Structure 1
Amino acid sequence: MRVELDEPKCVASGQCVMVAPEVFDQREEDGIAFLLEAEPPVEAADDVHEAVAVCPAAAIRVLNQ
């Protein structure tokens, strides 16, 4: 699984960080999310898919490899 985050679309809601903190974090200066892990382990798949579902800006997508 590969995760992509479109940072310019991010609205800094932090939903992704709350549901998948092992994959996402937020910059302190503006709250924009960034990836900690672009290719997270399979154990994180459920959390990543939930992050996709709760992102209000639809800024996250998952590519299967």
Structure 2
Amino acid sequence: MKVRVDAERCQGHTLCFMRAPDVFELSEIDGHSSPLVEEVPEDQENRVVEAVRSCPERAISVF
């Protein structure tokens, strides 16, 4: 599974980081999220799916 964050849609709610802190990092400037890795480790896949579901801006995609 791969993950991406649409930087234009992300509003810095930080919910993805709360769900999967080993996969997402937050900007110290504005709290916007970006993935630490493109390929999600198997043991983190459920957390990333929860992050996708929790994002109010629908900025996260997995494929």
TM-score, normalised on structure 2?
0.95
The equivalent residue for 1:20 is: 20
Pairwise CA RMSD: 0.6
TM-superposition CA deviations, 1:8-41 (whole Å, max 9, x none): 1001000000000010011001111111011011
1:58 is matched with which residue?
58
Seq. identity, %: 40
Aligned residues: 63
Does residue 47 (structure 1) correspond to residue 9 (structure 2)? The answer is: no
Runs of 4+ in structure 1 displaced over 2 angstroms? none
Contact 1:10 1:57 in 2 (8 A): yes
Matches of 2:61 and 2:19, distance apart in 1: 15
CA distance in 2 between counterparts of 1:45 and 1:23 reads 9
The residue number in structure 1 matching 2:7 is: 7
Counterpart of 1:33 in structure 2 is 33
**TM-score by structure 1 length?**
0.93
Q: Where in structure 1 are there 5+ consecutive unaligned residues?
A: none
Where do 5+ consecutive residues of structure 2 fail to align?
Answer: none
